[in-house]
Structure 1
């Protein structure tokens, strides 16, 4: 059940239930994932919890099929998409977004023994590339046939963890991943993987996704996000997960 519609004509910021249901991919560290105790945690999870606390609302985190995220939102099974969601023109057709709170690049990750073989996007020609189904990198490759057709194969995964495991095991030549996720995984496997400063596609912004008609919830959450940015809360959460403040200024 979603928060959905405003039920009070006298209070345009009111919503029908205090619970906010956050849809996320629970295999997307460090943005949202399950820890060793099977509890959903992560960077965006911490921000959402703090925002809900300030709004005096309960928050529920619901793992969804990220490839069907827009259908989940439209059907009101969730209220917001809050999990490293790139703001794109295509997605704006079907949902509303918060103001951007973080920048994200799509870069190339390889095994350490392949570092010297890839120096540019052109060097991906003839290689087997992995990426996440429903993600920004997949969308970019699908829309740029001149690049995709020069690749040997594009393997699509439900989550990046599986893709990075295949990269380590030699089933992929490279991964095109958002930099934040890739570098977090890299920090756990520095002996075998490397990040290349090879950017695929334009730099994007992360935002929180809402149903287009759910203006009340968007307004409330944006107000809280602005306050958290102003008082340094977003910076502190960023430092916890990334070791520095990488929030959009």
Structure 2
């Protein structure tokens, strides 16, 4: 190969390399989404999570978190669009820009703090143990050798932790509703789930059918997941939430769904 051809080949390789670097740089910039610049904010949620966010009988999305998000959206002067997602993929959906918020009874955990930035907490919660009313299970200790159900990739799984080694089996479902139906059918002995969801579900189905144990798998707090590093939007979001609390809107929404004001101030 002569010198002229070598020079041409080298030039082509250099151009390809420069183009590739430019494409990577553009991709990196594209991933740096500034949510505050958007007119429409996409909220990702599990649309079976009663009473936080779910599809009502009229086909529209409703629930405590849905109404609270709309109130915060007004303060931000942003339209909130609701996007049902696979709950096991929630952090990936946020990172990839498919959604802008994870807001659906999203419990704060140390592992999740590595993946998302959390807003101010707005509700306190517990991971409770639910059984059928006629069950002989009366404590966490009684779960040894039993089949326990929970939602896959939920904070209930995190809360149970290594205690699952005491169970006969920990079976997971894509939704809490499926886990509770498994309990109703007698295939599982107990369910570990968010207290807020569980109390609402039991109230609908009949309180005489279930019992919630005094033992639990720990206290938690609900907050909103925001893209990691988007501090400008995080600060604006927290300010808007504080305004919704201060003007009494959050309290009214809480009373509508829970019969009392359980908002964290």
* TM-score for both structures, normalised by structure 1: 0.90
Structure-2 residue corresponding to 1:212: 228
Structure-1 residue corresponding to 2:198: 182
Instruction: Judging by fraction of residues, say which structure has more helix.
Output: 2
* Structure 1 counterpart SS, 2:225: strand
Report the structure number with the largest CA radius of gyration.
2
Query: Over aligned residues, Cα RMSD in angstroms?
Result: 1.7
Partners of 2:130 and 2:192 within 8 A in 1: yes
In 2 relative to 1, CA 3–181 (structure 1 residues): closer, same or farther, beyond 3 Å?
farther
Structure-1 residue corresponding to 2:213: 196
Structure-2 residue corresponding to 1:9: none
Pick from 45, 58, 75 the counterpart of residue 96 of structure 2.
75
Shift of 1:30: 0.5
Gaps in structure 1 of 5+ consecutive residues: 7-14
Whole-angstrom distance in 2 between the partners of 1:31 and 1:213: 26
Pick from 163, 167, 178 the counterpart of residue 179 of structure 2.
163
1:29-178 → structure 2 map (5 Å cutoff) = 29-114=50-135, 117-141=136-160, 143-144=161-162, 147-178=163-194
Whole-angstrom distance in 2 between the partners of 1:65 and 1:224: 28
* TM-score for both structures, normalised by structure 2: 0.85
* Structure 1 counterpart SS, 2:38: coil
Shift >3 Å, 4+ stretches: none
Whole-angstrom distance in 1 between the partners of 2:190 and 2:167: 11
Whole-angstrom distance in 2 between the partners of 1:113 and 1:47: 37
Structure-2 residue corresponding to 1:12: none
Gaps in structure 2 of 5+ consecutive residues: 1-29
* Structure 2 counterpart SS, 1:217: helix
Give the total of aligned pairs.
235
Pick from 31, 34, 53 the counterpart of residue 5 of structure 1.
34
